[in-house]
Structure 1
Amino acid sequence: MSDRLRVLLIAPTLSKEAIGEAFVAFKWAEALSPLVDLTVATFQSPRHSPISEQLPQARVVTWPRPTVLDSNPRLRAMLKPDWPIFARHVRRWLRDNAREFDIAHQIMPQAMRYATPLRGAGVAYVIGPLGGALSTPPAFAAESGAAKWYTRLRALDHLRLRFDPFLRRSYAEAALVLGVAPYIRDHLAPVPIRDYANVLELGIEEPAPERAPRADGQIRLLHVGRGVRTKGLRDVVRAMGLLKDRRALHLTSAGAGEEIEICRAEAARLGIAGRCDFRGAIPREEVERLYAQSDIFAFPSWREPAGNVLYEAMRWGLPVIAAARGGPDGIVEQGVTGLKCPVSTPEALARDVAEAIERLADDPDLRARLGAAGKEKVLREGLWPVKAEAMAGIYARALGR
């Protein structure tokens, strides 16, 4: 008989042909399948190849994915209207199959608002890594624009953690709860959970090549992220405005959204339009080239649950500038892998980002030291086989082994 753990991994969507949570769930399943006896339970999308073919080393249980709200993917991602259907499928299936497993793991959804179908099923279980639940700092609210009505549902998460009996039982009965960063433990304070650990949900495939040195005297800043106010691009543009006399500084942005035109206008108003390049949505390979060609990754996102692009930049050996809030506050080690800026007001954040840029621009040895430490951290923690080994250890810890 095999002495490997028998693990059930559940996620409503999981596919290597998807993006976002579904792709991350697939990567976890792919990395875990050589280490444990893995069973995956998920929806099968009619648009994707069979999950059983994508994960040949795992046992796969699927149900047809509902197509509710397919015409509005952003709304669908936020509301997850098919979650109750998925949860019902899992509960019914576990009535006959729970004894086959040592432990179960609900790896997605990441948001802290979905009561698990694993509670009361007769198998020890892990939930997470959980993320989200960050609010907009009050001083930034006026610049954040009118949010879609469904995004305001996030405000209910804290109330539900205090008063929703099903959600509270989901976390209280878990053998172990995972969060993407230390702030998640604070959010879960109203619930008497048994055990907790931090695990960043994203990993990397392989080390990046060494970046070729440049001798042109320019300092190239890079920002990668959706064009929304929370990602901090406007704060970097304003920091560039404070440093407008430093002609060697150049900023490139990769990402699309309503914020891009606002930042373009801001750069023109500050007199730095000629040193700001807004690329919009670009192919992945072009983003990788930008990492290779840049000197500093400036990403002061102040409502970031995890900060996966920080991992990408650190993989390339880039020193990073981040906000001391949310996921980035847990990823970046101050003065070791990057520089962190406190979040109070837009004016203060722009000043602090400008100071961080200036400090890194004037000290190539500091850039090299922070970049090397960041790359070492990512290789130590972020490669998928390494993350899978650590997760197998978490399962053993949850079982008291």
Structure 2
Amino acid sequence: MKVLVIAPNIDAKDVGEAFVAYKWAAALSERVDLTVLAFQRAGREDLKTQLPKARVITWPEPAWAGRHERLNAMMKPAWPAFASHVRDWMRAALVRGERFDISHQLMPQAARYASPLRHFDIPYVIGPLGGALDTPAPFREEAASAPLFTRLRALDRYRFRHDPWLRSTYTGAACILGVAPYVQDVLQDVPLRRFEPVLELGIDNVAPVVRRQTKLGRLKVLHVGRGVRTKGLRDVVRAMERLQDMPGVTLTSAGAGEEIALCKAEAERLGVADRVSFLGKVPRETVEDLYRTHDVFCFPSFREPAGGVLYEAMRHGLPVITARRGGPAWIIDDQSGLRLPVTTPEAYAGDIASALRHLANDPFLRQQLGQGARDKVLREGLWHKKAESLLDLYSSVLADQKKTALLL
């Protein structure tokens, strides 16, 4: 199968979307005749070297695009330049007589970028798309400190209804992939030909099995994530106050950001600071040690499109407490964790406390859920299995195209 993949940033040494795009491209290059179009960032390893089994075409990423990493990650200001490069290259390639069975825009993950693939008569796939989740109304006041560019997400729904370029991108796609089923609801104003939930995350392997402590009433709880209100750390701190009668339950936080200072103050105010450790930003090796040495992963992020840290915890066999909302509601099932309704901050903290109390008093359930988490990522999350599933999807999409052509 001849496959064309486009993504503005693909890099094995990066994080976030660029790293995920690399893992997809590397896995696909083992199985198809793959052509990759991407930016090359100055000072980074040549993408041709990173993907030796693919044909790689790159253009220099504009220097100004990388100067503000957070803004670049959120808004992709160089996307118009990248889309223009892709259009020009594809036009020239088609004139040369090149043909592709299918094309795929892997990234950006946000559903707000009109695709250059819509201009060509090649079946194309977009995604996995994520984002576009709103903050539940009862939590908005506490999350009001978010940067302006993150609040611009409120414009997404308007654009899905009225932006002709964005709408033609999605209506023309042979298939839209979403990181979880909720994405189909986000795009409800756009008539899609086909939608499939495909988690963009994957793992190379699971971690060795660790024998965790089984004493009743003892629980080492871990939260890993950026220090922003929506990641739910403040809710876990408030839950700890409801567990004053269980001094053996402790919380460790790994992550940096504006929310951490507020959570520290909350822990002091609630009288639980002696049972909560805030480590700040720590090296990758330290995070892996934390997964190995803790009993439960509590990540009640209530505006989470997917949640890479969930897979990290699951590959270590940690049971998970998370939100019954967005990506976590789909990633975690009843065999791998406890999913909690997102209602009000007060009720949410109470539900988290109840879940922690339940797991602290039931070591056998912790073991069952931890094994279920490990089994789930082995079954669904290994990169080679994800690539094979994607190839099956490509074949199904092409079969749909042939059936449609015959009917016409």
Give the TM-score taking structure 2 as reference length: 0.95
CA contact (8 A) 2:214 2:363 kept: no
In 2, Cα distance between the equivalents of 1:208 and 1:17? 21
Q: Deviations over 1:232-274 (max 9, x none)?
A: 0000010011111201101001100111111111111111111
One of 85, 92, 99 as aligned partner of 1:89: 85
Residue 249 of structure 1 corresponds to which residue in structure 2?
249
Residue 354 of structure 2 corresponds to which residue in structure 1?
355
Query: Deviation at 1:78?
Result: 1.6
CA contact (8 A) 1:68 1:81 kept: no
Please give the root-mean-square deviation of Cα atoms over the aligned residues, in Å: 1.2
Residue 277 of structure 1 corresponds to which residue in structure 2?
277
Q: Which runs of 4+ in 1 moved over 4 A?
A: none
CA contact (8 A) 1:144 1:230 kept: yes
- Greater displacement, 116-125 / 104-113: 116-125
- Greater displacement, 109-118 / 335-344: 335-344
SS in structure 1 at match of 2:35: strand
SS in structure 2 at match of 1:35: coil
Residue 126 of structure 1 corresponds to which residue in structure 2?
125
Query: Deviation at 1:377?
Result: 0.5
**Identity fraction in percent:** 57
In 1, Cα distance between the equivalents of 2:179 and 2:385? 16
CA contact (8 A) 1:133 1:154 kept: yes
SS in structure 2 at match of 1:142: coil
**Structure 2 residue identity aligned to 1:294:** H
SS in structure 1 at match of 2:64: coil
1:223-302 equivalence runs, <5 A: 223-302=223-302
One of 68, 72, 80 as aligned partner of 2:64: 68
In 2, Cα distance between the equivalents of 1:215 and 1:91? 59
In 2, Cα distance between the equivalents of 1:280 and 1:125? 42
Residue 12 of structure 1 corresponds to which residue in structure 2?
8
Residue 329 of structure 1 corresponds to which residue in structure 2?
329
In 1, Cα distance between the equivalents of 2:302 and 2:375? 25
**Structure 1 residue identity aligned to 2:124:** Y
SS in structure 1 at match of 2:209: coil
One of 23, 42, 49 as aligned partner of 2:45: 49
Give the number of aligned pairs: 396
Stretches of structure 2 lacking an aligned partner (at least 5 in a row): 401-408
Residue 239 and residue 194 in structure 1: after superposition, are their counterparts in 2 closer, same or farther (change >3 A)?
same
Stretches of structure 1 lacking an aligned partner (at least 5 in a row): none
In 2, Cα distance between the equivalents of 1:162 and 1:38? 34
Q: Deviations over 1:168-217 (max 9, x none)?
A: 11011111100000100111111111111111111111111111333676
In 1, Cα distance between the equivalents of 2:184 and 2:47? 33
In 1, Cα distance between the equivalents of 2:51 and 2:332? 33
In 2, Cα distance between the equivalents of 1:32 and 1:225? 29
In 1, Cα distance between the equivalents of 2:163 and 2:42? 34
Query: Deviation at 1:332?
Result: 1.2
CA contact (8 A) 1:110 1:131 kept: yes
CA contact (8 A) 2:160 2:166 kept: yes
**Structure 2 residue identity aligned to 1:38:** L
CA contact (8 A) 1:177 1:196 kept: yes
1:175 aligns with 2:171: no
Residue 306 of structure 2 corresponds to which residue in structure 1?
306
Query: Deviation at 1:286?
Result: 0.7
In 2, Cα distance between the equivalents of 1:187 and 1:298? 26
Give the TM-score taking structure 1 as reference length: 0.97
CA contact (8 A) 1:40 1:60 kept: yes
In 2, Cα distance between the equivalents of 1:336 and 1:18? 32
